[in-house]
Amino acid sequence: MKKNVLQFACLFFIGCWLSSIPSWAKDWKGVVPGTTKKSEVLEKFGPPTRELTRSGEFSKGVLYQGAQHLEGTKQVQFLFDAQEVIQVIYVFPALDLKRDQIIATYGKGFEEKLNDSFKTYLYFKKDGIVVYFKEGNQVVSSITFQKPLE
């Protein structure tokens, strides 16, 4: 009996410890939000189509589209913070990725939500991935990679 209680207590504390470890962002083509620097993106993918300037927390970025599009995409935007660390990646796929393909790739650990425009998206909170769908909610519009919220 004491042995079972001790085993349960050990498993409980290991579970609590594991759940306290921070989540890590999923990478996209080797670029990890919260880790990869702008200079590494430029070295890996070459000169962007253009530099981005916008308002908000991540006001600087680089855009790849058209002749400089990255393989498998129509457009990719990398947004970074004041220290030039990538914080958010917006990927617009060139192919029509289906909902089932996304779930097969990233798993079933998502929340299905509606945005302000009543469009469906899947939020993979643990991985920091958000998948937006076109009308009909079966074909991907864009995928966002970011640091998971803690």
pLDDT at residue 20, as a whole number? 32
Q: Which residue has the higher pLDDT, 149 or 86?
A: 86
Rounded-to-integer distance, Cα 128 and Cα 150, Å: 10
Among 37-41, 52-56, 72-76, 95-99, the least confident range: 52-56
- Going along the chain from its start, the domains and CATH numbers come out as 24-146 (3.40.33.10)
pTM of the predicted protein model: 0.80
Is residue 17 very low, low, confident or very high in pLDDT (cuts 50, 70, 90)?
Answer: very low
pLDDT at residue 49, as a whole number? 96
Q: Which residue has the higher pLDDT, 71 or 21?
A: 71
CA gyration radius, the chain: 19
